[in-house]
Amino acid sequence: MFERLKQFGIVSRAEFILPNLGSLILGLAWGANRTSDLTGLIILLVLSFSVINLSSTIGAQINAYYDYELDMKDERKKQLVLAEESLGRGRLRLAFIVEFFCALVLVSIFTVIQGKPILSILWGLGIFLGWAYSATRARCFSCLSPG
């Protein structure tokens, strides 16, 4: 069980969670206003940080999923490839689908609290662009690779 969590952390790029603490500034920008009480501000910060990190995790997993063939050729990404193989591609795909819907719920709550539907639209666009980048980049590079 612990080994599987470790592999999942590698594929999810868990090392980026702490650097995402800086993204709380974005959360403050989204959530703070002059009438925010401390409890409301904390709720918005927790939601912001959760959405940012869950979205980052989804992006990392999607990237690992689609770049698998490219990453196999890169010695620097050996640990990432081994972690993905250990987890299995089906389990990885299921993980980012479940995480997507969890993040969608959090974004929806955030959007309702803020009363700004554009936040959901922008989040969805960001997830789509991340997926499109990873999916098309992997295909483009595999087409260019000899043999």
pLDDT of residue 98: 92
Q: Yes or no: say if 87 and 7 are a contact pair by the CB < 8 Å rule.
A: yes
28, amino acid identity: L
pLDDT of residue 24: 65
Mean pLDDT of 126-134: 89
Mean pLDDT of all residues belonging to the chain: 82
**54-81 pLDDT per residue, tens:** 888 888 888 888 888 888 888 888 888 8
pLDDT of residue 33: 63
pLDDT of residue 124: 92
pLDDT band at 141 (very low <50, low <70, confident <90, very high): low
pLDDT score of 142 more than 60: no
pLDDT of residue 109: 93
pLDDT of residue 102: 94
Mean pLDDT of 6-26: 75
pLDDT of residue 50: 86
Instruction: Give the domain ranges of the chain.
Output: 2-144
**100-114 pLDDT per residue, tens:** 999 999 999 989 988
Tell me which residue of 140, 112, 123 sits closest to 50, measured CA to CA.
123
Most distant CA atoms of the chain, gap in Å: 62
Q: Yes or no: say if 87 and 8 are a contact pair by the CB < 8 Å rule.
A: yes
